[in-house]
Amino acid sequence: MASLIEHLIKLTDHRDRDLLELTLSKALIDLVPIQRVLVSKVVSEEGVKRWMDVTVLDARGGGKVVDPLRVDFQTLPLLEDNRDRLHCIQRRERVEIAWAGEDGPRITYLPLFADPVADVEGVLEIHSASALLDDQLMVISDVSRVFRNMYRLLAYSDRDALTGLLNRKSLDDTFYSAVLEELGEMQDAAAEARQIVLAAGQERRHRVPPNYWLGTICVDHFGTINDHHGHLIAEEVLLLVARIMNNTFRTYDRLYRFGGEQFAVLMHCPDEALVLAAFERFRANIEKFNFPQVGHLTICGGFTRVTPDDSPNTALERAERAVDYGQHHGRNKVFSHAELVRKGFFAEALKIGAVDIF
């Protein structure tokens, strides 16, 4: 059994945020006499919030690790379906349930994040044969604090400083993992990632199947906004655009800002029509929003299906071509690159060159 120090080293050794919950769960199983650990996060879509169990680990072996990019939102339980968890995050305090008598088994819920500025909400759900002792709760608290610190540190390195959205480095990391696995070059890593428990230090890969889509978004006439209203107002516009993105797209869609007025979205969707509908909702939400001192703005968006042969640049170039088409045909539009190809506006094969995406 690893010591507390060894588990803390494992937590601080990661460079992948998606593995932290599993490492936390393994540490608690080893260090505290408990039966099961769940890490559950709150995810939302169009104002509806649900629970997503990202990690489940049993002391006797077994469990699961969920990739948030692959989740089927409609199958997840609503927040109200587990009121004990809900009370835990609302009150930001420990909730203990004795479900078979005062001396019997317990379920203990603890807030995953201790303050309201965290970019996620969630709980630790711990099953034990009896009430947890004070020293056991202290171990859980200490390990959880290290987890939170590491989560925030890694989140900071993946984020755009102005908007808090993910940055280009984060897209490259996710994208290259996905494409390598899709090509079969990461076959062994993928098989290990599907195991219930991952070895310490192993990186889980984000597999992007053929129904993943990458889209880019540009604010129309952003240079004019900057020239007429100044840098501070332009930055406020970008902050508000990022906020509207967060409120429009799903919690588990990956939202990016690459610099300037360019944003991007990596999302899982079963078909092109649903992707178009999501981008159209965002376009409409931007159009109707009244930006302080600026008034009403518009955006152009373009998206493409991710293929196994793609690099980030090739997929981004296709999406950017769709954005450019919208900007040259009236602006305030969203286009699918594939649809433009089908209609004969673009050739199927693209000449890949240097792309100015900043």
End-of-domain residue from the set 131, 157, 183: 157
Structure tokens at 238: 């970008």
Kindly state whether residues 191 and 318 are assigned to the same domain.
Answer: yes
Give alpha helix (H) positions in 183-271.
187-193, 222-229, 231-248
| Residue 261 falls inside a structural domain | yes
| Residue 241 falls inside a structural domain | yes
End-of-domain residue from the set 128, 157, 186: 157
- 267-271 contact pairs (CB < 8 A, 24+): 267/212, 267/213, 267/215, 268/69, 268/70, 268/209, 268/211, 268/212, 268/213, 269/211, 269/212, 269/213, 270/211, 271/211
Kindly state whether residues 230 and 101 are assigned to the same domain.
Answer: no
Query: Could you tell me the pTM of the whole model?
Result: 0.68
| Residue 356 falls inside a structural domain | no
Q: Residue 78: what pLDDT? A: 95
Kindly state whether residues 111 and 206 are assigned to the same domain.
Answer: no
Measured CA to CA, the distance from residue 299 to residue 335 in angstroms comes to 12
| Residue 233 falls inside a structural domain | yes
- 270-273 contact pairs (CB < 8 A, 24+): 270/211, 271/211, 272/213, 272/305, 272/336, 272/338, 272/339
Q: Residue 309: what pLDDT? A: 82
Which CATH number fits the domain that encloses residue 142?
Answer: 3.30.450.40
Helix (H, G, I), strand (E, B) or coil at 268: strand
Kindly state whether residues 245 and 296 are assigned to the same domain.
Answer: yes
Measured CA to CA, the distance from residue 242 to residue 257 in angstroms comes to 8
Q: Residue 336: what pLDDT? A: 96
Kindly state whether residues 212 and 318 are assigned to the same domain.
Answer: yes
Q: Please tell me the total count of domains within the chain.
A: 2
Measured CA to CA, the distance from residue 161 to residue 155 in angstroms comes to 11
Which CATH number fits the domain that encloses residue 316?
Answer: 3.30.70.270
Q: Residue 19: what pLDDT? A: 76
Kindly state whether residues 110 and 212 are assigned to the same domain.
Answer: no
Kindly state whether residues 117 and 173 are assigned to the same domain.
Answer: no
Q: Which residue range is the domain that position 139 belongs to?
A: 4-157
| Residue 211 falls inside a structural domain | yes
Structure tokens at 216: 């880019």
Q: Which residues face 22 on adjacent strands?
A: none
Kindly state whether residues 103 and 216 are assigned to the same domain.
Answer: no
Ranges of the chain with pLDDT below 70: 1-2, 11, 14-18, 114-119, 177-210, 348-358
Q: Residue 298: what pLDDT? A: 96
Kindly state whether residues 185 and 310 are assigned to the same domain.
Answer: yes
| Residue 111 falls inside a structural domain | yes
Q: Residue 213: what pLDDT? A: 92
- Contact yes or no for 163/239 (Cβ under 8 A): yes
| Residue 347 falls inside a structural domain | no
Kindly state whether residues 129 and 211 are assigned to the same domain.
Answer: no
* Rg (alpha carbons) of the chain, rounded to whole number: 22
Measured CA to CA, the distance from residue 302 to residue 349 in angstroms comes to 17
Kindly state whether residues 179 and 148 are assigned to the same domain.
Answer: no
Kindly state whether residues 11 and 106 are assigned to the same domain.
Answer: yes
Q: Which residue has the tokens 């201790």?
A: 114
- Contact yes or no for 316/278 (Cβ under 8 A): no
Helix (H, G, I), strand (E, B) or coil at 128: strand
| Residue 97 falls inside a structural domain | yes
